[in-house]
Amino acid sequence: MGIFDKFIDFTKQINAVENHLYSGKKDFLEIYERNVLLEKEIEERTNELNEANRRMLTLQHIWEMMNSSKPLSSILDSTVNNLQKELGYKYSCILQRKIDENGEHYSLMATSSYSLFETINEKLESPINTQHLLFNNSEIVKTALKNQQIIQSTDLRLGLLTLVPDIKEEYLEEILSMTHCRSFILVPLSKLDRFGFVIVLSERAEATEAELDFLKLFAQQIELAITIADLFQVVREQAITDPLTTLYNRRYFEEALDKEFVRSNRQKQPFSIIGIDLDHLKQINDKFGHVYGDLAIKQISTILKQNARSIDVAARIGGEEFNVLLPGVDSHGAMIAAERIRKAIETSPIETVGDITASLGVATFLEHSNNVEELLELTDQAMYHSKRNGRNQVTMATPISEISWQEVALTAFKDILSTAHVNIPEHLKKELYHKLQMAIEQNTNPKDTLYTVADALVTSYNPQHTFGSSKSKVVMATTLARRFELGKEDADKLRVAMLLYDVGNLMLPQEILQKNGPLTPEERAYIENHPKIAAQEILEPLSNVKEIIPIIEKHHENWDGSGYPNKLSGSDIPLSSQIILILDAYFALIEPRIYRKALTPYEALEVIKQDANKKWNSTLVNEFVKLVEIELRKAE
């Protein structure tokens, strides 16, 4: 091969190598370019994922707050701050729509932290959060409302002037230069017009489609948060208010009274309670109908609202009874307030019914008693003194100077356990005696001890007894005593008798008390003799309950004369004995027995009604049924 041929062959080899290198370089460049695109796509997807995570985190925070039962203002403040921080907005707020004497306007309901607003507030005559913002005059707002759509605008000047129209032009450029924003986004809250809009300031001139979709979802969560918070508020109000009058209910009043007791006791300051009872409600109901009776009750509630200070607590306790708690008011001030209420009721006639009146009682902490339960009792006693002495008047309570009914009951129980031959285990006798002795020595409110001892004694011969019913019986007996206007002395005797009336059972044989089957005539005679056993063998030796014995002896006498032990009838039976009989029967019916299941309260009431004018007079039955039905409705 010649030199020329070798040169041509060498050239071909070089070209082949160059072609191979070029082809490899091209492949390498293609791979490199693909890698660059892939890395860019990965970065974009990562950013999208991070953005989605931030949005989900924001929604999660909203959901957690919604389920925390926090106040709405707290939820919304946290929400706008999370929106600003987690999604990178410069500022966010919620505008609330209002319509009042100033017309339609908006005010700041919640706002995130932003130093710009400190500057804006310096330039305004009053802080922006106290102003009526005429935001609805803007065309962009009208468009958002009309179409219910999210709108973004880069015209920050227009947005600021629309939001704060009274800002001076000379300050406008200064404020705009401080925003470092390029747009604002307006998100209407469609389901709740009264809340208006969510507004965010963004450093981005245009929002992505995903961002706008998120803001729409965010707005829906805000609306849900508002709905839930409103429901919490409604439920709370229903739990503490009386539905007929919208005054506070008994539960709230008792909680407020406990708090006021702690405060007053610590600071040694008085507070007063005014008890109010509408006069002749039954006559109004009978003559004009229950609708007008309700109107009379509402009238008193309106007067109480008009005459109460912001710190006073006016409550409907039940039926036609009301209480007003007056923090920091002594007896002199309370009497003035009570007389003002009485006069307002007297001079506020109701259409068709005419004039109505009320009887009022006043008691003051530290003046009349330093015990809350005792203070309530004194208030009631003063109120019913007004009722018994002609109605339409105010009575000041008198401090308890004589021995209280609790002391009488404590001493009686203590003497029974130490002297009477009652059929209870020795260890239980010692335990109950110790409880009574401690209550006397410590000089504290003895009611809980009395109820515990009474329940324990009944359970010793009746295992089906419901613990706590002794207290319920005394409370209901006291309420019935008020309704029949028993004096304080008679009401106190009833309370003691209500605790002691069944002590005769402690001396009856267990084989009779727990017998699963009909009693023999001899056994029935033994049972029917137990009121006399209680009176003669247990109570007569006790010096401090002599006046209670006649009530207990007659508590099984029936209205039609078919009771025992003396076959008394009608008015020969003391009202207190009749009250014990009906309460004893009711609570026996709702407790299980060896020979039957417990009845429901409503079934028990039907049994009580069937024996009206047989076992008990119909007037008592009517009052008792109303009392129980009120308590049952409260518990539902």
Same structural domain, 280 and 223: no
What are the tens digits of pLDDT across the range 294-315? 999 999 999 999 998 889 999 9
**What percentage of the chain has pLDDT greater than the value 70?**
73
Q: What is the pLDDT of residue 289?
A: 92
586 domain-assigned: yes
Domain CATH code at residue 162: 3.30.450.40
Same structural domain, 467 and 488: yes
Q: What is the pLDDT of residue 444?
A: 61
Q: What is the pLDDT of residue 271?
A: 96
pLDDT range class, residue 407, cuts 50, 70, 90? confident
Does residue 108 have a pLDDT over 90?
Answer: no
Tokens of 361: 């009682």
pLDDT range class, residue 594, cuts 50, 70, 90? confident
Measured in whole angstroms, how far is the alpha carbon of residue 399 from the centre of its chain?
33
CB 332 within 8 A of CB 311: no
Show which of 365, 396, 427 is a domain's final residue. Answer: 396
Does residue 191 have a pLDDT over 60?
Answer: no
Most confident of 89-103, 200-214, 459-473, 550-564: 550-564
Query: Quick one: average pLDDT of 535-543?
Result: 70
Does residue 6 have a pLDDT over 70?
Answer: no
Show which of 354, 377, 396 is a domain's final residue. Answer: 396
Element (H, E) at 324: strand 321-327
Tokens of 316: 């409907």
Q: How far apart are CA 215 and CA 200, in angstroms?
A: 10
Q: What is the pLDDT of residue 519?
A: 66
Does residue 137 have a pLDDT over 60?
Answer: no
What are the tens digits of pLDDT across the range 196-224? 788 888 888 888 887 788 787 777 777 77
Query: Among 133-142, 166-175, 319-328, whose mean pLDDT is lowest?
Result: 133-142
Tokens of 114: 């932003």
- Could you identify the residue written with the tokens 């409370």? 475
Domain that holds residue 219: 72-238
pLDDT range class, residue 154, cuts 50, 70, 90? confident
Does residue 405 have a pLDDT over 60?
Answer: yes
Average pLDDT of the chain is 80
Q: What is the pLDDT of residue 14?
A: 63
Same structural domain, 153 and 291: no
Q: How far apart are CA 211 and CA 47, in angstroms?
A: 13
Higher per-residue pLDDT: 88 or 449: 449
386 domain-assigned: yes
Pairing outcome for strands 394-396 and 313-318: unpaired
Q: What is the pLDDT of residue 605?
A: 93
244 domain-assigned: no
Same structural domain, 343 and 217: no
E-only strand ranges, 89-223: 91-100, 103-111, 151-153, 183-188, 197-202
14 domain-assigned: no
Q: What is the pLDDT of residue 219?
A: 78
Same structural domain, 620 and 474: yes
pLDDT range class, residue 169, cuts 50, 70, 90? confident
Higher per-residue pLDDT: 380 or 119: 380
Q: How far apart are CA 443 and CA 446, in angstroms?
A: 8
Does residue 151 have a pLDDT over 90?
Answer: no
Show which of 188, 209, 238 is a domain's final residue. Answer: 238
Same structural domain, 106 and 170: yes
Number of domains in the chain: 3
Q: How far apart are CA 231 and CA 566, in angstroms?
A: 60
Q: Active site residue: 39, 86, 174, 320, which one?
A: 320
Beta bridge partners, 278, equal 358
49 domain-assigned: no
pLDDT range class, residue 95, cuts 50, 70, 90? confident
CB 618 within 8 A of CB 492: no
Higher per-residue pLDDT: 134 or 145: 145
Tokens of 1: 């091969």
CB 90 within 8 A of CB 203: yes
Query: Quick one: average pLDDT of 556-578?
Result: 91
Same structural domain, 488 and 565: yes
Catalytic residue list contains 374: no
Tokens of 554: 């007659």
Q: Which of 455, 457, 440 is nearest to 534 (CA)?
A: 457
Same structural domain, 228 and 139: yes
Higher per-residue pLDDT: 576 or 556: 576
Same structural domain, 512 and 476: yes
Does residue 123 have a pLDDT over 70?
Answer: no
Q: How far apart are CA 199 and CA 183, in angstroms?
A: 11
CB within 8 A of 322, min separation 6: which ones? 247, 275, 276, 277, 300, 301, 304, 314, 315, 316
pLDDT range class, residue 514, cuts 50, 70, 90? low
37 domain-assigned: no
Same structural domain, 460 and 608: yes
Domain CATH code at residue 268: 3.30.70.270
Tokens of 454: 């009474």
Same structural domain, 224 and 260: no
Tokens of 307: 């005459």
67 domain-assigned: no
Domain CATH code at residue 481: 1.10.3210.10
Q: What is the pLDDT of residue 32?
A: 60
12 domain-assigned: no
Same structural domain, 370 and 411: no
Q: How far apart are CA 242 and CA 248, in angstroms?
A: 6
Q: What is the pLDDT of residue 613?
A: 92
